[in-house]
Amino acid sequence: MALRTALWTVMTGAAQKAARALKRDFGEVEQLQVSQKGPSDFVSAADIKAEKVLREELTKARPRFGFLLEEGGEVASADGHHRWIIDPIDGTTNFLHGIPHFAISIGLEMDGEIIAGLVFNPIVDEMYYAEKGKGAFLNDKRLRVSARTRLTDSVIATGIPFHGRPGHKPFLKQLERVMDSVAGVRRMGTASLDLAYVAAGRYDGFWEMGLQPWDMAAGILLVKEAGGFITELDGGKNLLGSGNVLAANPKLHKQLLDLISAV
């Protein structure tokens, strides 16, 4: 049974309230107003609405905390220590195409360290949650990363650079090395859920380049609290700064790191 802490209540309550409108909008996605932020980078009225709800609900509960928001930018904290890192819809492209694989992602950072994380797919009602030192959970089930020890038995997830994003050639070299060594590679289009799936043992590992802090803040803690390892692609620790991430269970992390860092 997941710990029902005060922080859990705040974060899950905010996510569930934002999710109610998201589910309605997902059912009428063709009616949504959509604008383009950059090449292949879209924002919908649903993103804006969900972010507004999350910000309002979290501010009510913790009025002195700051924010780093995908759509709304940065809001300084009054207490000088805490900030919420929020993606109202991680997987907007999936959402806009009617693909039911997207998530609300909320991370809480204290003095530069992620201390709580939530990833919620409202379509399948899967709520992933972790607090530092308290474990990771899917709804009420405790999570552990997979126990596989060989890459040849493993399924690894990734994110593929698309139009307007750099890194196509390095990624293809990485993919060639990985796919020659594993049982399968998956690309689902929602990094927060990819990391949550690593925490749940559904994926044995995940790597991607060029992510934003809101794509992975919550997922970083989920993987750690489920017993996994997570670093940059060269083994570094500045994940939120570089945007490059490699997550896996303890047996496979170094094997994947050796494959990918050699590119």
CB atoms within 10 A of CB 212: 15
Which position among 70, 109, 208, 225 bears the catalytic label? 70
Instruction: Decide if 89 is catalytic.
Output: yes
Residues whose CB falls within 8 Å of the CB of residue 205, separated by 6 or more in sequence, listed in order: 154, 156, 157, 198, 246, 247, 248, 249, 252, 253, 256
Which position among 89, 114, 156, 230 bears the catalytic label? 89
Which position among 204, 208, 215, 225 bears the catalytic label? 215
Measuring CA to CA, how many Å separate 72 from each of 69, 105, 118, 152? Answer: 5, 15, 19, 43
Which position among 90, 194, 208, 232 bears the catalytic label? 90
Instruction: Decide if 140 is catalytic.
Output: no
Instruction: Decide if 87 is catalytic.
Output: yes
Which position among 25, 85, 92, 109 bears the catalytic label? 92
Instruction: Decide if 70 is catalytic.
Output: yes
Which position among 87, 131, 208, 225 bears the catalytic label? 87
Instruction: Decide if 194 is catalytic.
Output: no
Instruction: Decide if 90 is catalytic.
Output: yes
Q: b/e for 109-129, b at 16 or more Cβ within 10 A? A: beeeebbbbbbbbbbeebbbb
CB atoms within 10 A of CB 152: 8
Active site residue ranges: 70, 87, 89-90, 92, 215
